[in-house]
Amino acid sequence: MSGQKKWMPRWFYQLASPRWCYDITGKLLPGFVIAALLLLGVGTVWALLFAPADYQQGNSFRIIYIHVPAAILAQSCYMMMAVAGAIGLIWKMKVADMVAKSCAPIGVSVALLALATGAIWGKPTWGSWWVWDARLTSMLILLFLYLGVIALHSAIENEVTAAQSAAVLSLVGLVNIPIIKYSVEWWNTLHQPATFTLTERPAMPAEMWVPLLVMVIGFYCFFAVSLMLRIRNEILHRERRAGWVRQMIGGE
């Protein structure tokens, strides 16, 4: 081992230990809770009270401050689930499997939130609750992909096999997401273009998009909090026979 060059940083290997992971998430958690509360609080007040109303859509556009962060998060959550699944498959890391498993229910709820807020926003803007528009449809399919992963995971009793199967499925889904996205986009589109892109400045004025950015970051912090809580729960559940868990629960 001594002569071999380590090509992965030390913390990556440490993450594989459930106990270390439990400790580090315990230390990170308070910071993220505070950041999430602060950002979501400030963002919501700013968005609902101080951001200017849209000149065409009036106040109804304000739902964007929930809708867009939820939609962005739903997509990145899938990405995280697939990457964690791949790490679990390749390095056989238990913690990565737990991360992938914990991502799925969060992904479902944010995808549902994005769809629901989209429907509510669609009513005053397009005049109907549901339109077979490209973005809505691809979000719906993303929701189905999440549900498929969860269904497969719960159908297999062996925890390790379930995690591996779900990882393969989410990787297949990951390859398919861009294909689905573009195929649906060419098929039918009514939705406005993406609010944030990496290469261009937002088309909205700064008073509108800055609170949106705050909300997006707030949503990510909230995601981190709920993911860490789920992982900690999962670690305790799976390591319930390990000495350190018994000691911690018995000792306190």
Partner 1 sequence: MADTLTKEPDYSAGRSVGSLYWAVLRRELLLFFRRRSDLLNPLVFFLLVASLFPLGVSPDPTFLAQVAPGVVWVAALLSTLLSMDGLFRSDFDDGTLEQTLLSPQPMFVVGLAKVSAHWIMTGLPLTLLAPLIAVMLFLPADGMAGLVLTLLLGTPTLSLIGAIGAALTVGLRKGGVLLSLLVLPLYVPVLIFGSSAVQAAINGLPVSGHLALLGAMLALGVVMAPLAIGAALRISVSG
In contact, 212 and 195? CB cutoff 8 Å: yes
- The 51-90 contact track toward partner 1, x by CB under 8 A, reads --------------------------------------x-
Q: Hey, which residues between 135 and 154 contact partner 1 (CB under 8 A)?
A: 141, 144-145, 147-148, 151-152
Sign (positive or negative) of CA dihedral 76, 81, 85, 91:
positive
Residue 127 CB, shortest distance to partner 1, in Å, is: 24
62 or 101, CB closer to partner 1?
101
Binding test (CB under 8 A) with partner 1, winner from 172, 190, 194, 206:
172
- The 91-130 contact track toward partner 1, x by CB under 8 A, reads ----------------------------------------
DSSP 240: T
Q: Hey, which residues between 178 and 217 contact partner 1 (CB under 8 A)?
A: 179-180, 183-184, 187
Question: Half-sphere exposure (CA, 13 Å, Cβ side) for 46?
Answer: 19
CA angle 81, 86, 87 (to 5 degrees): 100
How many beta carbons lie within 10 A of that of residue 145, not counting itself?
A: 25
* Separation of CA 71 from chain center: 9
* Separation of CA 27 from chain center: 21
**Which residues contact partner 1 by CB under 8 A?**
89, 141, 144-145, 147-148, 151-152, 155-156, 158, 160-162, 164-165, 168-169, 171-173, 175-176, 179-180, 183-184, 187
